[in-house]
Structure 1
């Protein structure tokens, strides 16, 4: 079930990525080491329990990424139970043979906010940093991308990707078990790089922005989405402890500050394309993610504040170009 060979063969066809391809098998093995991740055997059992089904239709360009085809009730229950073995499902939604995976995030809403503002993805090689199970990777492929490389260090998300890949069967899309720090320095290989929901988790936002810049070829486009606060140039929120019950939130800038950061990191023409406050309809607990979610992270008496008293999550999306 966990087989990257077809994807690695695709990289051999792309000169800018051929050198990285040589080191990838060792990086993948390290990222999926059972010595480091004790739940991996259980997740692999869930993958092995997925029924063998033959899709008749594959959908990558609508809100629910998925497949459809013949399935009986016994197979549907087997599919449902195996997918539930990969709980929690964070990003989606997905629909596999009538089994609807109602993920914590309505990731399709985020896609709808940016899809018409970015450079067309047709024929482009794309990197998605912090991609989770790969929902947006599949939407990028549905928009015509030539190759989509998702990276995420969380092995559960990689297992979820392989559950989807079993039926989507597209070796031009991969989710690799690693973070951006594992990319070769100054790779300069991608036409488009996405970083969505990552910047505020980085202790050094400038190091992250520079790494994103160095992943792009000249003229390539960055799509950056992150938490922001209201305010003017130079203002940044640095939470004293937790923010919205997250312990790994370091810097939340205003949109003016973030624009200045992008310019200082070497991008040109940064453009703000969306600012949206996250709602409990977009991020919530479901049968497929039964832990606490946004409703429990907000002040119960004022939904415009986090439980700690900070401004509630607002997310801004920028596009910018590498000169």
Structure 2
């Protein structure tokens, strides 16, 4: 079910991406190696266990959904749910398949509603989604009119979740998720019309290198959409947690919005600006039946929700946009 044949054929017709074919198949094979992911055979088995049903309707613009309850039998519904639950935890969504609601940890549709008004028109655009998780926003980008969407995320489980959805949302649609990090892309690619990096920057030891990598993915004039954790503050302010942040080990830099805009300018972007600032609500990130591990409520001070359990400012997320020179 995980098959990139059509993507490789498409890349042959995209001059800026074509040189990537020299390394991409080997990179994909490495990213999906069972030696790297011991549970990969189980995830592939879950994909094979999905019932073969063709949905009557697919919706990508207002939500991500396929099919109606009456289109599958009770036995098929049970089969569908069991296969999808074998891919737990589901972090990004929500999804609906034949009225089976996958209530994910994140209400990623809320984040989409915050970024969508600030996207340049997507019609006929080639889009890259960096660190896309299971690809929820890739489908929303396609539903908003993008010509082709490529998501990258190094987690093979997210790739499996994506292909579980693609089985019903359409294998012929030009949207793909590659098991790669941004460092796997050729240097100075300059191929994409729009690049998104959401929830990635604070995990990078060198944020300036990540911003440079993002700039190199974009054609001249292409749009960057950057979403990340920030703190309140002035130009130059930046939190560098010495230990964990909200129980996460790999959080390195949380700048103020003014500082982040300065970083974007220093990285060569034109006209960087903050277009949204939002404190993450307990209703947006929470434990569910489809993600049964700890979530935001467990990461905050039980006596003061404005602070993390370590005493840092509680998660606040900003959306910034800029253009490549």
TM-score computed with the length of structure 2 as normaliser: 0.98
- Hey, what's the Cα distance between the residues in 2 that align with 1:6 and 1:96? 24
Q: CA deviation at 1:153?
A: 0.3
- Hey, what's the Cα distance between the residues in 2 that align with 1:16 and 1:225? 26
RMSD, aligned CA: 0.8
Q: Give the equivalent residue in structure 1 for 2:269.
A: 267
Q: Find the residue that maps to 2:117 and give its secondary structure.
A: coil
Q: CA deviation at 1:177?
A: 0.2
1:198·1:226 contact (CA, 8 Å) conserved in 2?
yes
Q: CA deviation at 1:171?
A: 3.7
- Hey, what's the Cα distance between the residues in 2 that align with 1:7 and 1:93? 26
Q: Give the equivalent residue in structure 1 for 2:221.
A: 219
Q: Find the residue that maps to 1:36 and give its secondary structure.
A: coil
> What are the Cα deviations for residues 124-162 of structure 1, in whole angstroms up to 9, with x where unaligned?
000000000000000000011011010000110000011
Higher mean C-alpha deviation, range 284-293 or range 11-20 = 11-20
- Hey, what's the Cα distance between the residues in 1 that align with 2:199 and 2:46? 28
Q: Give the equivalent residue in structure 2 for 1:147.
A: 148
The answer to whether structure 1 residue 67 and structure 2 residue 69 are counterparts is: no
- Hey, what's the Cα distance between the residues in 2 that align with 1:7 and 1:83? 25
The answer to whether structure 1 residue 91 and structure 2 residue 92 are counterparts is: yes
Q: CA deviation at 1:57?
A: 0.7
The answer to whether structure 1 residue 25 and structure 2 residue 25 are counterparts is: yes
Q: CA deviation at 1:11?
A: 1.5
1:131·1:152 contact (CA, 8 Å) conserved in 2?
yes
Q: Give the equivalent residue in structure 2 for 1:310.
A: 312
Listed as ranges, the matches of 1:1-323 within 5 Å are 1-63=1-63, 65-69=64-68, 70-169=71-170, 170-323=172-325
> What are the Cα deviations for residues 28-62 of structure 1, in whole angstroms up to 9, with x where unaligned?
00000001110101111111100000111111111
- Hey, what's the Cα distance between the residues in 1 that align with 2:225 and 2:102? 26
Alignment length (residue pairs): 322
> What are the Cα deviations for residues 217-255 of structure 1, in whole angstroms up to 9, with x where unaligned?
000000000000001010110001000000000000000
Q: Find the residue that maps to 1:200 and give its secondary structure.
A: helix
Q: CA deviation at 1:21?
A: 2.5
Q: Find the residue that maps to 2:229 and give its secondary structure.
A: strand
- Hey, what's the Cα distance between the residues in 1 that align with 2:143 and 2:12? 22
Q: Find the residue that maps to 2:310 and give its secondary structure.
A: coil
Q: Structure 2 unaligned segments of length 5 or more: list them.
A: none
TM-score computed with the length of structure 1 as normaliser: 0.98
- Hey, what's the Cα distance between the residues in 2 that align with 1:84 and 1:128? 25
Q: CA deviation at 1:167?
A: 1.0
- Hey, what's the Cα distance between the residues in 2 that align with 1:243 and 1:218? 36
- Hey, what's the Cα distance between the residues in 1 that align with 2:164 and 2:62? 19
- Hey, what's the Cα distance between the residues in 1 that align with 2:58 and 2:88? 23
- Hey, what's the Cα distance between the residues in 2 that align with 1:37 and 1:145? 32
- Hey, what's the Cα distance between the residues in 2 that align with 1:181 and 1:171? 26
Q: CA deviation at 1:22?
A: 3.3
- Hey, what's the Cα distance between the residues in 1 that align with 2:219 and 2:193? 6
Q: Find the residue that maps to 2:151 and give its secondary structure.
A: strand
1:274·1:318 contact (CA, 8 Å) conserved in 2?
yes
